Amino acid sequence: MRSLGAIIFIAFRPIIKIYLILAVGFILARKNILTIDTSRNISYIVVSVLSPCLNFAKVVTYLDNSYIRQIGTIAISSCLVFPGQALATFAFGILAGSPRAWWGGMFLCGMLPNISDLPIAYVQSLASADIFSNTDLGVAYICIYGAVMNLIQFNLGGYRIVGFDFPDTHLSGFRPDPEKQVVSKGNSTITATCSTAGTNGREETDSLRSHAIESLDSNEDNASIQPDCIESPLRGVHRTKSVIDSIYHNRDKNVSKEGLNDIVKVYSKFNDNTDKKIEPSSTVSTAHENSYKHYLSEFMSTFISNATTPASISTVLSLVVSMIPWVKAIFVTTHQAHIHSAPDGQPPLKFLMDFVEYLGQAQVPLGLLLLGGTIGRLKVTEVPQGIWKTVLALVCFRLFIFPIIGCAFNSKLHSDGLFYGDKLLYFISNITYCLPPATSVLYFTAFYSPSDTLQTLQMNILALVYIAHYVCLIVCLPFVASYTLKISLDV
C-alpha cells in the first residue's frame, strides 16, 4: 500500500505532462505557426484517420466478448456522464442567470466533456507507476466512452442544439447560399463550391465534418524571401539563416494573431453576405417545417450521414471483430480461438494491426497540441454584466460538485458488483466526471455564428468557460484521481 504523498505525486505527474503539451500548442498558436487553417487540416487527419486507427487497435486488441459486462457498465455510467450532467449543468446555469442566448451552448458544455485525448493521455501516463497491470485496456474503455459521446453529438444531432442560440439563422427557415461559401482570410478571399445534394441536415453535417479548406490563397502559402537573403556570399551565415527563417516562418511578422473571430470566419456555414443572400425558404411551407415527417427525415439524414464516417465505421467494425473470437484471431492472438498462423508465426492480418496501432499513437499528442492551440486563441473582448456568476456556477458544478456525485454513483455500482472487480474501469469511470467541456462546442458555435459579425456573446462566454475550467482542472483532476486510488481502490 502506497502512502498518501506517493499517491498524490502519482496522480499529479500526468497532468504536468499534459499541460506542457498544451503549452507547446498554445505557443505555436500565438506565433501563428499552428494557424486555424493548419489546425483544421490536422483535425481532419485526426478525426478521419488517427482516431479510427486508435479505436480499432485498442478495442480489437484488448476487448473481447468476456468484456460485454464492462461495456454495459460504461453504458450505465454514460447516462450520468452525458445527459445527466447536461441537465444538471443547464439547471445550475439558469439559476445563476445565464442569458437566454447561450442556453444551447451551456447545455452542450454539460453534455460533451473532453473524453478523448485528455483522459487517454492521463491514463497512459500511469503506466510507469505500476498501479494498473494494463493501461492500454483503459484506453479501450475510454474509446467506448468516446463512441457514446460521438453517437450523441453527431449521429443523434446533438450539435444542432447550439443552433437554438442563433434563431435568426437556424429556426426561421433561413438557408445559406447553396452554391458558394465565402470565407474572409486576412486581405484575401477564399471561395469554395459547396455541395447541394441531400437535405439541410446532411449539408450541415458535411460542412461540420469537412475540416479541409477547398482552396488556399497561393500568395500566402509561398514563402517570401526577404532582400537580406539575397546578399553577397561573403555573408553566408546570415544568408543561410535568413533562408531557413523564410522557409519555416513564411507568415508576415506583422500579421495579427488569430483569434475567435478568425475561427468563426473559417468554420461558419454562413458567408459574408448572409444578410443579403439568405431569404426564408419559399419551397418549404410552415406546416411542412413543423411536421414530424420533416424532422424525422432530417434526423435520419443526420444519423445516416454520420454513420458512414470513418470514426463510426471504425467503432462498429472494431466491436464486431473483437466480439467474434475466430474473426479476432485473424488480427491478434487470442485464447478464445485458434487459426493457422502466417509464416512468421503471427496472425494473418497482424500487419494491419501494426499499421493502425502505429498511426493511432499520433492521435493523442496531436489532439493535445490542437487543444493547446485552441486555448491560445481564446480572448474575451467583452464580459457581459453578471456573466461571471454563470461561469463560476458551471466550473464549480463540473469540477467540484459533479465529481462528488459521480464518485458516489460509481461507489454504488461498485457495491452492487457492476464493476466486476475491474479497478481500471472504476478509475476511468471516476475521472470522466471531472473533465472540462469538449472544444467541439466552440466549433459548433462558430459553425452557427454569422461570419460577418464581430465576436458574439456566445463565443465570449465560451472563452471564459474554457479558461476557467483549464485553470481549475490542474487541481481538480489530480484530486479526484488521488481520492479514487487511495480511498476507492486502496492501492
pLDDT of residue 456: 79
pLDDT of residue 231: 42
Does residue 98 register a pLDDT over 90?
A: yes
Does residue 176 register a pLDDT over 70?
A: no
Q: Nearest 5°: CA angle at 33, between 117 and 256?
A: 120
Question: What average pLDDT does this structure show over 112-117?
Answer: 93
Question: What average pLDDT does this structure show over 254-281?
Answer: 62
Q: pTM for the full model? A: 0.81
DSSP characters over 432-472: TTS-PBPTHHHHHHHHHS-TTSSS-HHHHHHHHHHHHHHHH
Does residue 229 register a pLDDT over 70?
A: no
Among the residues of 151-268, which ranges form H helices?
A: 167-170, 200-209, 218-221, 236-248, 260-267
Residue type, 410: N
Does residue 60 register a pLDDT over 90?
A: yes
Q: Which residues contact 472 (CB under 8 A, 6 or more apart)?
A: 395, 399
Task: Report the range of poorest mean pLDDT among 153-162, 177-186, 292-301, 329-338.
Answer: 177-186
CATH class of this structure's domain 4-169+302-488: mainly alpha
Question: What average pLDDT does this structure show over 172-197?
Answer: 36
pLDDT of residue 241: 57
Do residues 28 and 34 make contact, with C-beta atoms less than 8 angstroms apart? yes
Grouping H, G, I as helix, E, B as strand and the rest as coil, residue 344 is coil
Q: Which residue has the higher pLDDT, 24 or 282?
A: 24
Question: What average pLDDT does this structure show over 150-166?
Answer: 90
Does residue 83 register a pLDDT over 60?
A: yes
Predicted confidence band of residue 256 (pLDDT cuts 50, 70, 90): low
Domain with CATH 1.20.1530 in the chain: 4-169+302-488
d(CA 225, CA 242): 8
